[in-house]
Amino acid sequence: MSELPLAGIRVIDITVVWSGPSACRMLAALGAEVIRIESIHHFPATSRGQVPYPDPAATAAAVGAAAAYPGKDPGPDPYNRFGPFLATNQGKHSVTMELDTPEGTAAFHRLVGCSDVLVENNARGAGDGLGITWPALRPLNSRLVMVRMAPLGLDGPYANALGYGAHFEALTGIGALRGHPGAAREDAGSTYHMDDVAPQGVVFAVLAALMQRERTGAGQLIEFPQGEFLMQGIGDAFVAESMNGESYSPQGNRHPAWVQGIYPCRGEDQWIALTIRDDAEWAALLAVTGHPAWADDPRFASLTACRAHQDELDPLLAQCTAGWAKRALFLALQQAGVPAGPVMDEADAYADPHFEQRQTFRPVTNPAAGTHMYPGLGVRWSGMTPAWGRSSPLVGQDNEYVYKKLLGYSDAEYDDLAAAGLIGTSYPRPA
């Protein structure tokens, strides 16, 4: 296949945080021309960093904030160096349009008229307020495929709810299933799982709508309520409750039918995940760990017995694993047929020989952030190679291309917009 499947498809990206930008990044990797609309009047704190110019001393003192920038250095243009943006916006163009001005609205409408797909994941009220609605945009382009990712949909009592992934995880039930047994709910922390699973669903929905357009010639609105999509991942809990009134409760790292847990390994904060599904795997684990004396205790004579006494078993297993390097134990257990995996941090993943051989992480060079290794798309095809290597855009870097080439603005018209401060490539510095 010489051409990527979405070559010739133009996507307008009006997204924030993680889920929407990641969906559009995937569309770009499949060959689409993705144009990200940004504002230089309203700083996108959920996309390009908390503030456009963080105080260097304060950033250095805040480990989490500093880690968001290459070398923990915000640099002279932090909004072009913000780690989450660098990761989720590769392969895109950036144009600045002020959608709350007549000039910005006019440019936006022209862009809608010559595009195929629009993706937005703002709160419903924000999109409605800017005129990013199906009734407003459909007359401009009957072939437009529009995706609205309002977390709980476009109607219903909660349609205008404000929040991020953690809030809607709590609302849809997944927050109640995480954590350790008996622990306070707030101890579970947040996973932002909604942002992680939604992008793939959006790509699937867009591809289906584009295929339908090939048959009918008409575009359509895709309503993608991220919270409802997230609920598909805990369908077993809903079915159990509806069928027999059984309520799931947090189980920590354990499994409802098998022996499972996270156990310490040699070194500081080093761990391995283990699962034992039957007596043969239990015997294999004992053989790898030298068949400790306590293994002859009747409480641990079988998987069923171990399940009944896992509270007593866990500290004994921890003693066995604590002397092993986690990678060595992982390999030994896998060789013996026992499901196991080392608990790796980011540095471990970068250094792992399996990921290195498969080139799971690949270099991308950004003019503001330098060259770094980024995770690939995560899918491989035998007949095509996804686009790779175009970095996340500098703010407004493609203004001239979009305004002059795509939208037909003259040099004078473009210069007037620039002089009025309606387009640009940086954010105003504080006085």
Mean pLDDT of 127-156: 95
Number of other residues whose CB lies within 10 A of the CB of residue 142: 10
21 lies in the same domain as 161: yes
Domain count, the chain: 2
Instruction: Supply the range of the domain harboring residue 167.
Output: 10-47+82-232+360-419
Of 342, 375, 394, the one marking the end of a domain is 342
Q: Classify residue 101: in a domain, yes or no.
A: yes
Instruction: Tell me, yes or no, whether 36 and 94 share the same domain.
Output: yes
Query: Same domain for 410 and 377?
Result: yes
**Does residue 2 carry a pLDDT above 70?**
no
Is residue 251 within 8 Å of residue 261, measured between CB atoms? no
- Mark whether 159 and 205 lie in a shared domain: yes
Q: What is the pLDDT of residue 1?
A: 40
Same domain flag for 300 and 391: no
Domain boundary among 342, 373, 393: 342
Whether the per-residue pLDDT at 58 is higher than 80: the answer is no
pLDDT digits (tens, 9 = 90+) for 346-356: 999 999 999 99
| Statement: residue 318 has pLDDT above 60 | yes
Residues 109 and 207 in one domain: yes
Q: 123 and 210: one domain?
A: yes
Confirm if 224 and 201 have CB atoms less than 8 A apart. yes
Question: What's the mean per-residue pLDDT of the chain?
Answer: 92
Question: According to the model, what pLDDT value does residue 65 have?
Answer: 65
Does residue 119 share a domain with residue 27? yes
Same domain for 109 and 198, yes or no, is: yes
Q: Tokens standing for 139?
A: 């007359």
Q: What is the pLDDT of residue 66?
A: 67
In a domain, 53, yes or no: no
Is residue 130, in this structure, part of any structural domain at all? Answer: yes
For residues 320-326, give the mean pLDDT: 96
pLDDT tops 50 at residue 309: yes
Whether residue 114 is found in the same domain as residue 213: yes
| Per-residue tokens: 95 | 């144009």
pLDDT 10s digits, 374-430: 999 888 999 899 999 999 999 999 999 999 999 999 999 999 999 999 999 999 887
Does some domain include residue 289?
yes
Alpha helices (H) along 267-398: 279-288, 303-308, 310-321, 326-335, 346-351, 353-357
Read off φ and ψ for residue 276, nearest 5 degrees: -120, 115
Instruction: Pick left, alpha or beta for residue 184 (phi over 0 → left; psi -120 to 50 → alpha; otherwise beta).
Output: beta
Q: Which domain CATH number covers 199?
A: 3.40.50.10540
| Residue 248 resides in a domain | no
Are 284 and 374 members of one domain? Answer: no
My answer on whether 177 and 42 are in the same domain is yes
Question: Residue 54 falls within a domain, yes or no?
Answer: no
Q: pLDDT band for position 63 (50/70/90)?
A: low
pLDDT above 90: residue 56: no
CATH of the domain at 294: 3.30.1540.10
Domain-located, residue 175 = yes
